[in-house]
Structure 1
Amino acid sequence: MNSSFHLTLAALCCVVVVLGGFPFSSNAQLDPNFYKDTCPNVTSIVQSILANVSQTDPRILASFIRLHFHDCFVQGCDASLLLNDSDTIVSEQGALPNRNSIRGLDIVNQIKAAIELACPSVVSCADILALGANVSSVLALGPDWEVPLGRRDSFNANQSLANSSLPGPRFLLDELKTSFLNQGLDTTDLVALSGAHTIGRGVCLLFNDRMYNFNNTGVPDPTLNTTLLQSLQAICPDIGVLGTNLTNLDVSTPDTFDSNYYSNLQAGNGLFQSDQELFSTPGADTIAIVNSFSSNQTLFFEAFKASMIKMGNIGVLTGTQGEVRTHCNFVNTVSLATKVTKDSSEDGIVSSF
C-alpha cells in the first residue's frame, strides 16, 4: 500500500475517534436516556416487533434504516415522511424517490400502537424511526449505538423538497457529495452511510440502464462485473414489464450487515451506479475510504455509528417544538373528518433498501 493510503486511513481513524467521542455534541438536547423514566421499555418494544416481523420479512430491516434516512434528508428527522395526504398536507410518500418504494409504514404504526399502550403520548414517531434503524442494524448483525432521543414530530411535510433533496441510484459522485453536504454530512459520512446497502433488495428499473444502455451508449456499464451482469440480465430481462423484479444489493451476504458491500465495490459488484461511483470514479477520494472499510470491518462499523448519530441530529425538533403524534400518519390537530384514508400496509416495490 502506498503512503497516501496510510495517511488517509490514519485520518479516517481520527475522524471516527473524534465523532465517537462526542456523539451528541451537534444537538445537546437529544439524550439516549430521554425516556428512562417516562417510557423505559421503548427500545425493547421496537426490538420485539421488528425481530418478529423480520422472521418472515428480512427486508424489513433494510427498509427501516431507509425510512430513517429518507425522513432525515427532508426538513430533518421529524417524521414528516410518515404523514399521509390530508386537506392541508401533500405527503412526501408521493415524491418520486418514495412513490411505490418506501415500505414498512404498517410496521411503524404497529410499533407506535404498542408504545401508546405502554406510554401514551410520550414517544415521538421521529424517535421510533431512529430507534428502528438502530434495532434493524443490530438484528442484521451490524453495529449498535446509543440512539440520542427526544425528537418531536412535525406538523407538516414537504413533497417538493423530498423530490429535490434525496440522492438517487443514478447519481454521479459529485451529485452524491453535494446531496450529503447539503445535510451537513461529509465524504466519510457518504461512504459510511452507503454501507447500509450491505442489506436489502433493489428493483430492476433502477439499474436496467447499467445492463443494456449505459449513458445511452447501447452497451452495459463497463464498471459492472461481467459475471454479475449475466446474473442480473437473467433476473432483469430488457423488458419493461419485468422492471419490478428484485435482486440483492449485496451479492455475497444479502441479509447480513457487514463490510462485504465495500469488497463488492472493489470487484465491480455494486448494484446501483451510485454505489459503484464510490470506487470506480477515477481519482476519487472515496476510493481509499472504500478500501479501508473493506479491509477493516470494525473501522466501518465505528464510522457507520458516528454517521448515523450525525444524520439523526439533522434539523430535529425538540422541547416545545412540534408535537408527539398519537398516530404517525396524522398530526394530532387534524380532525378525523379531514383525514384521507391511505393503505400503508404494503408499499409496493423497494428501490434502494
Structure 2
Amino acid sequence: MITEHDLRELVEFTANAPVLSLYLNLDPTLGNADAHKLRARSILKDIYLPQDVEAITRYLDHEYNWSGRGLAIFSCAPEGFFRAYPLGVPVRSAVHISDRPSVKILTELLDNYGGYGVVLIDKQGARVFHFHLGELVDQEGFMGEEVKHVKRGGASTFPGRRGGVAGRTRAMEEQIDRNMKEAAEFCVRFFESRRIRRILIGGTDENVKHLMNDLPKTWQSLIVGTFPMSLTANQNEVLARALEVGAQAEAESEAQLVDQLVTGAAKGSGAVVGLEDTLAAVNDGRVQLLVIAEGFRKVGYRHRETEALAVKPPDDDDPTAWEKVFDVIDLAVNRVMRSGGEVEVIHSVEDFEKVGNIGALLRY
C-alpha cells in the first residue's frame, strides 16, 4: 500500500539514468497470475533497459503474492532504486521512461481513493474505519453508556417535549448527548492520527445529524456524504457504500471546481485553463492546485537546463536546448508537487474538456 510519504519519495527522486515506471491492471476479471505475467512481459518486450526489466520480472515471478488488484513498480538499476507498491484498486496498465518516476497515475488513485474516514454511529456507540486505496487500514470502536428505556406514561416521561422525542426521559436525552459528544471526540482523535482527508457518516438521519453537530467545524468541512447503515455492518458493506457515496460527492465537487476554474480564468482572477497557460504558470511556480482530466496526456518539450515545460519550443529559442518528452502533463504534476502544490483529477465534466482538460488555481 502506498502512502503520502511514499509518493513524496517518488516525486523527489531524480536520476542520471532512465527510470522505468510500470503500472499493471491486475483486476481478477482480466485473468489469473499467469495471464497478468504474460501481459507484463508483452508491455516490457520493447523496453531496452535489460537490468530494470530483469528486476521487474524477478519481482513478479518470485516476490509478488498476486493478492492486489493493481501494481505500480519503479526501477532505476544504475541508481539501485526499486520500489513496488501493490494496490487494492485496479489501475490502467501503462509504461513510462524518464529521468524520474511517473507519478500521475498514482496521484489519480490517491485523489480518488485515498484517506477516507468512515463513521457508523448510533445512540450508544460508534465504529470508525480508515480506508486507503480501496483497502481497510484499521478500525476502532467506541461504546458509551447504555441508554436505558423506561415505560411510557411514567412520571419522568415527556412525550413531545420541544427538541426531544416522544417517549424519552430527560435522563435518556442527556445520556444520548454525552455518548454523542464522546463519540465525536473519539472520531476526531482517530481522524487526526491518520490524517483523514474526507469523512463519510453512516447511521439514521437523527444520529448522523447529532454527530455532525458535535464535530468541530474543521472536521465538519471534511464531511463529503452520509448514508443509512447499521452499526453492525461488515467492513465490505461499509467500503462499498462509502466508495459509492464518495464518488457521488466527488462528482459534485469536481463540477464546482471546474466552474471555479473557468470563471476565474475568464475574469483573469486567480486561475488559468488550457495547456499553454497552465504550463506557463507551472514554470513560474504560481500553481497552488493543478487540475487535470483523468488519463489526459500530451507530448511536449522540456528545456534541458531550466526544466521549463512547453507545448513546443519557442520560435526565438534554440530548438536543440529542448528535449521532446512523452508526457508533459506527468512532468507538470511532478513539478507542482515538488513546489508544495496539490493535484486534483477530474473524471467526467463536459465543460472541462471544452477548455483543454487542464487548468490551475494560482498562488498569485
TM-score (normalised: structure 1): 0.23
User: Which structure dedicates a bigger proportion of its chain to strand?
Assistant: 2
Q: Larger relative contact order (C-alpha < 8 A, sep ≥ 6)?
A: 1
Task: Find the structure with the greater CA-based Rg.
Answer: 2
- Structure (1/2) with the larger helix percentage: 1
